[in-house]
Amino acid sequence: MAQDKIRKQIDRLHPDQHHGEIVRLIVCDGFLWDFNRALELALFRTFASPSISGLLARTGEFTRSGQKRYDDTSLLMLQLLRYGYDSPEGVAALQRINRTHGYFSIANEDYLFVLSTFMLDPIDWIQRFGWRRLRDNEQAALFIFWCNVGKRMGIRDIPASLAAMREFSERYVRDHFRFSDANGTVSGATLGVMESWLPKPLRRFVRPVSAVLLDETTRMAVQLDPPGSFYSAVVPAALKLRAKWLALFGSSGEPAWPDGYRTYPEGYAVERLAPEKLLELERQLVDRKTEQRREQVD
């Protein structure tokens, strides 16, 4: 089976030297959908921290251009997973991320928590709902991969192990997760984006399904209503049934990677994966430099 072939490839690689390739192979082993859902939840969990949601609310991007911000974030993260952080594509993605973040004052602790969600949430999702469990070498590869991404983003004091990162994440949640108006604004706008993907009769299911998949601390911090016993039973059962189906009939191989078609129906360029206000500012800076060069020539 193709699935066995991919796992044999992974077993021949060592996380220290080949973590990028291991991560890509994990995604190719029938886990792209799982990574997408886990990263969606990871993004949503960050909204439970008022310092993070406050910045996002002040920019207005999630309320004004929610689909674009969703697509931009997803495409940048998946480009790193697909090509690796040191590939030309990965370097371009990191340059875009760092250039965008450079316009804002962001605490290192907040950066570090967001990084922890990229490590931990896919692992936790797959261990719970994946068609197979991630093994120790695969979890180590994900940790090392995102550590290297974090270092290239200038994030300091990254914990030295996956267990230490989990301890940091749990401590951050205890210390920082609490309700604020900004939490509600940004999370509500994001749920609205997700609802827009579905036909109107199905949109009412987005919030209770999301409530099942989020932990109670996050739900309380964004004031998302508890899901109720029906959804709490049906949603996990449906996801586990999907996992059993994939274990029997699923196929592995290079997946159809998302292309951000909702925002970019004709394709995207990495340098455009940023808020429009910043892109306009960058255009103005380029125009000024061009004009200055012309004046020097004249």
Q: In this predicted model, what pLDDT tens digit does every residue of 159-173 receive, in sequence order?
A: 999 999 999 999 999
Task: Express each pLDDT in 20-32 by its tens digit.
Answer: 999 999 999 999 9
| 15-26 helix and 136-152 helix, angle to the nearest 10 degrees | 100
* Residues in the chain, pLDDT under 50: none
Residue 158 CA to residue 114 CA, distance in Å, equals 12
What local confidence, expressed as pLDDT, does residue 167 receive? Answer: 98
What local confidence, expressed as pLDDT, does residue 1 receive? Answer: 54
What local confidence, expressed as pLDDT, does residue 287 receive? Answer: 80
